[in-house]
Amino acid sequence: MIDKKAFITGAAKGLGRATAVALSASGYKTILTDIDPVTLAETKKIIEDAGGSASTYLLDVSDKKQIESVLIQAIKDEKKIDAFINNAGIGGVMAPFHEMKDEDWDNVIAVNLSSVFYCLKYQLKILLDQGGGNIVNVASLAGKKGVPLGCHYSASKHGVIGLTKTAAVEYGSRNIRVNAICPSFIETDIIEAVPKPLLEFVANFRVPLKRLGRPEEVANAIKFMLSDDSSYMNGHSLVLDGGMDAG
Ligand code: NAI
C-alpha cells in the first residue's frame, strides 16, 4: 500500500470522486475539495466507509484567493502533499461564437483554465519546498480538437494542455512531473447537457469500443500517471477515448 496524500479539486462527484476512491483504495490519504458541501461529504463518507481516510475543504476554483488560502491551510494541516489532481470543471452554456455570451465565456475560462494556473502556481511552490511530487490536470479530448458550440470549453482545455507542458518543462529538473489526461465522453453529470441521440451516435459509430467511458477508467489512468510505473512520463496529454480519435 502507498502511504501518500493526494489533493483533488472537484472531488464531490464524477471523475473527481472516482479518482479519490481509487487513490484511497491504493493507500492514499485524500484531501477532497469542491464547491458543493453536500456531495463532498458523501465522497468523504464513501471513502471512510471503505476504510480510507479523507479530509475536506470547501473550494470554489474560480476564486484565486480561495485557491491560495485553501492550499496554504491544507499544507499546514497535512505537512506534506505528494499529488495534486486539478479536476474541477464545467461544460458551460453551448453556443456558436457569434451568440456566445461574454459571461458564459468568462465563466468557463475562470473555472476550467484560470483555476488551473492558480492551482499550479501554489501547488508547484509546495512541491518545490518538499523536493518533488506529481500533478495531473484533467483536460479533455476537446483540448486537442475544435468543439462545435463549445469554443470556450475547447479553448479552456487547450489552455490546460499548454499550462501542463510549460509546467513540465519548467519543473522537470526539480523532481516534479506534470501531466494531463484527455478523456472523451465519460458517463458523469457533465454530459447530461449533451443531446442523448448525439451520445448514442458517438458510442455506436465513433468509438471503436462501442460505449462511453466510465469514471473508474479515468481514475485508474490518473492513478497510473501518479505512480512510479509512469516515472518517465512528463508533459504528456494522455488521451482516453476508447479509440475514438484513432479513426
Ligand atoms: P461533474 O459535473 O460530474 O463533476 C464536476 C465537479 O466539479 C463537481 O463536483 C462540481 O461541484 C465541481 N465544480 C464545478 N464548478 C466548480 C468550481 N467553481 N469550484 C470547485 N468545484 C467545482 O463532471 P466530471 O465529468 O466529473 O468533470 C470533471 C472534469 O473532467 C472536468 O474538468 C471536465 O471538463 C473533465 N472532463 C469530463 C469529461 C466527461 O465526459 N465526463 C470528458 C473530458 C473531460
Counting from 1 in the atom list of ligand 1, the atom nearest the Cα of 12 is 9
Strand runs (DSSP E) across 149-220, as ranges? 176-183
What is residue 59's predicted lDDT score, i.e. its pLDDT?
98
Q: How far is the CA of 189 from the centre of ligand 1 (A)?
A: 8
Identify the burial level of 205 via C-beta atoms within 10 angstroms of its C-beta, where 0-12 means exposed, 13-18 middle and 19 or more buried: exposed
Q: Is 88 in the pocket of ligand 1 (CB under 6 A)?
A: yes
What is residue 2's predicted lDDT score, i.e. its pLDDT?
80
Q: How far is the CA of 175 from the centre of ligand 1 (A)?
A: 28
Q: Which residues contact 166 (CB under 8 A, 6 or more apart)?
A: none
Which residue, 241, 115, 239, 230, is CA-closest to 178?
Answer: 230
Scan for cell 479533455, then name that residue: 140
Q: Is 154 in the pocket of ligand 1 (CB under 6 A)?
A: no
Q: How far is the CA of 90 from the centre of ligand 1 (A)?
A: 5
What is residue 135's predicted lDDT score, i.e. its pLDDT?
99
Residue 212 identity (one-letter amino acid): L
Which residue, 86, 172, 79, 170, is CA-closest to 129?
Answer: 79
Instruction: Please name the residue whose Cα sits nearest to atom 15 of ligand 1.
Output: 89
Residues with catalytic function: 153
Q: Which residues of the chain have pLDDT under 50?
A: none
Which domains are delineated in the chain? 5-240 (3.40.50.720)
Q: Is 36 in the pocket of ligand 1 (CB under 6 A)?
A: yes
What is residue 1's predicted lDDT score, i.e. its pLDDT?
80
Query: 157 by DSSP, 3-state: which?
Result: helix
